[in-house]
Amino acid sequence: MTSSVLDLAPVVPVVVLEDAADAVPLARALVAGGLPAIEVTLRTAAALDAIKAIAAEVPDAVVGAGTVISVSNVSETVAAGARFLVSPGWTDTLLDAMKASGMPFLPGVSTTSEVVALLERGITEMKFFPAEAAGGTAYLKALSSPLPQARFCPTGGISPTLAPSYLKLPNVGCVGGSWMIPADAVAAKDWARVERLASEAAALRD
């Protein structure tokens, strides 16, 4: 695996699963469509089992944990097989735990001061969240001149029409989104549709 989550694919699917039984077929569809990095958010009771299942049964997937907000989240998700960690924001305690895990991680930022504080600690890769609400492409473009060493995965409110403008920015490695996993497709177990949407997302940078 590349040491950077930002370089695995142009889009990281942000997955919220209510049923862990959907994890493996969903992950297979995303990987087949060209999106190997999959962020399973810790917003549901099924999340840890979903991470375990993908880690065990979909070897081509690089499964990560999202919405990591506590030290216990870090230890539980790494034990479940998560290969990267994503947080919506950070504290010193959370940052120390993510660093100690040995996994690549993307701490969330939405202000210039947070970016500078992470750069001060030697961290150059971050999640920009909530991207659209926090200023979108205009904000990230403004950061690229004074802080060129910071690279981002913007997430939050990004659609397939907005994604290309983010991906053109020099300080954006990839974007996070869930548009390729429509709730109705998951409910219908229409994995072919998920694969098709994933392949369209994977081609956004071409």
Of 11, 10, 12, 74, the residue nearest 42 (C-alpha):
74
Beta sheet of 85-86, edge-to-edge order:
105-106, 85-86, 62-66, 37-41, 11-15, 175-177
Tell me if residue 39 is catalytic: yes
Catalytic residue among 52, 125, 127, 195: 127
Helix (H, G, I), strand (E, B) or coil at 20: helix
Q: For the chain, first and last CA: distance in Å? A: 22
Tell me if residue 120 is catalytic: no
Catalytic residue among 39, 52, 125, 195: 39
Active site residues: 39, 127
